[in-house]
Structure 1
Amino acid sequence: MADIERLDTWVRYKNGLCSDCTGACCSMPVEVRLPDLVRMGVVDEFEMDEPLKNIAKRLEKQRIIQHFNFKHGIFTLMRRANGDCQYLDQQTRLCTIYERRPNTCRNHPKIGPRPGFCAYTRNPNQGRKVTYER
Structure 2
Amino acid sequence: MNPVDIDRPSTWVPWREGICRGCHGGCCMMPVEVLKEDLVGLGLATEDEPQKKTSQRLTRAGVVKSWRASTGLFQLEQQADRSCVFLDPSTRLCTVYEKRPGVCRKFPREMGPRLGYCPRACSHFG
**TM-score, scaled relative to structure 2:** 0.91
Query: One-letter code of the match for 1:41?
Result: G
**Conserved in 2, the CA contact under 8 Å of 1:69 and 1:75?**
yes
- Shift of residue 50, structure 1, vs aligned partner: 2.8
Partner secondary structure for residue 58 of structure 1 = helix
More divergent stretch after superposition (48-57 vs 88-97): 48-57
Paired positions, count: 121
- Shift of residue 51, structure 1, vs aligned partner: 2.0
Is residue 87 from structure 1 mapped to residue 86 from structure 2 by the alignment?
yes
Report % sequence identity. 42
**What are structure 2's unaligned runs of at least 5 residues?**
none
**Larger relative helix fraction:** 1
What are the residue-to-residue correspondences of 1:11-22 with 2, within 5 Å? Answer: 11-22=13-24
**CA–CA separation in structure 2 for the residues paired with 1:108 and 1:115:** 8
Aligned to 1:10: 12
RMSD (CA atoms): 1.2
Aligned to 2:77: 78
**CA–CA separation in structure 2 for the residues paired with 1:86 and 1:50:** 22
Query: One-letter code of the match for 1:72?
Result: T
**TM-score, scaled relative to structure 1:** 0.86
Moved >6 Å (runs of 4+): none
**Conserved in 2, the CA contact under 8 Å of 1:66 and 1:76?**
yes
**What are structure 1's unaligned runs of at least 5 residues?**
125-134
Is residue 112 from structure 1 mapped to residue 109 from structure 2 by the alignment?
no
